[in-house]
Structure 1
Amino acid sequence: MSRRLITALEIDGAGGHPDAWRGSEVDPAAILTGELALRAVQRAEAAGIELATFADALEAPADDPARVSSRLDALGLAARIAPATDRIGLIPTITVTHTEPFHLQASVATLDHISSGRAGWLVDVSSSEQAAALVGRRAPAPAADTWREARYVVDVSQRLWDSWEDDAIIRDAATGRFVDRERIHYVDFESPSFRVKGPSIVPRPPQGHPLTVVRVSSPDALLAVRDADLVLLPGLADLPERLAVVRAAASKPRILLSVSVLLDEDTASAVDRADGAEQVDHIGGVERLADLIGEWAAAGVDGIHLRPASLELDVPVIADRLLPLLRERRLVGPTVKRPATLRTRLGLRRPANRYADGSRG
Structure 2
Amino acid sequence: MAQHPLNLGVALDGYGWHPQAWRRTLVADPTAAPVTSGRHWAQLAATAERGLLDFLTIDDSLAAQPGRREEIDPRRLAGRADAVLVASRIAPVTRNIGLIPVATVTHTEPFHVSKAIATLDFVSHGRAGWQARVSPTAHEAAAFGRRTVLDGTELFDEAADFVDVVRRLWDSWEDDAVIRDVATGRYVNRDKLHYIDFRGSYFSVKGPSITPRPPQGQPVVAALAHAQPVYEFANAAADLVFVTPSDEASVRALLGRVDGNVIADLVVSFAGDSDFRSDAQIFAGAPADLVELLLGWHDLGLAGFRLRPAVNATDLPVIVDEVVPYLQRAGRFRTRYRDGETLRERFGLPASVNRYAEAGSS
Task: Specify if TM > 0.5.
Answer: yes
Are 1:341 and 2:351 an aligned pair?
A: no
SS of corresponding position for 2:187: strand
How far residue 343 of structure 1 moved from its aligned partner, in angstroms, is 1.3
Q: 1:172 to 1:303 in 2, by over 3 A?
A: same
CA gap 1:192/1:32 in 2 versus in 1, 3 angstroms: same
The alpha carbon displacement at 1:201 in A equals: 0.3
Question: Is 1:236 matched up with 2:246?
Answer: yes
Give the TM-score taking structure 1 as reference length.
0.92
Alignment partner, residue 227 of structure 1: 237
SS at match of 1:31: coil
Partner of 1:31: 35
| Paired residue total | 350
CA RMSD of aligned residues (A): 2.0
- Aligned counterparts of 1:33 and 1:15: Cα–Cα separation in 2: 15
TM, length-normalised to structure 2 = 0.91
Superposed, 1:265-344 pairs within 5 Å as: 273-274=278-279, 280=282, 282=284, 284-336=285-337, 338-344=339-345
SS in 1 for 2:28: coil
- C-alpha deviation, 1:281, in angstroms: 5.2
CA deviations 1:179-223 (Å, max 9, x no partner) are 000000000001101100000000000000000001002222122
Percentage of pairs with the same residue: 39
Q: What does 1:197-208 correspond to in 2, within 5 Å?
A: 197-208=206-217
1:268 offset after TM fit, Å? 8.3
* 1:259 partner SS: strand
**Equivalent residues in 2 for 1:182-193, closer than 5 Å:** 182-193=191-202
Say which is worse superposed, 222-231 or 57-66, in terms of deviation: 57-66
Contact kept, 8 Å, 1:110 with 1:202, in 2: the verdict is yes
Cα distance, 1:271–1:287 mapped onto 2, change above 3 Å: farther
Q: State the alpha-carbon separation in 1 of the partners of residues 40 and 32 from structure 2.
A: 9
* 2:261–2:347 contact (8 Å) kept in structure 1: no
Ranges in structure 1 where 5+ consecutive residues have no aligned partner: none
Mapped contact 1:47–1:323 kept (Cα < 8 A): yes
Residue 56 of structure 1 is aligned with which of 49, 60, 70? 60
Contact residue 234 and residue 272 of structure 1 kept, 8 A: no
Q: Deviations over 1:319-359 (max 9, x none)?
A: 00000101111222322162421112222222111111344
> 1:150 maps to which residue?
159
1:301 partner letter: L
Matches within 5 A, 1:38-117: 38-61=42-65, 63-117=72-126
| Unmatched segments (≥5 aa) in structure 2 | 66-70
Distance 1:255 1:272 in 2: 23
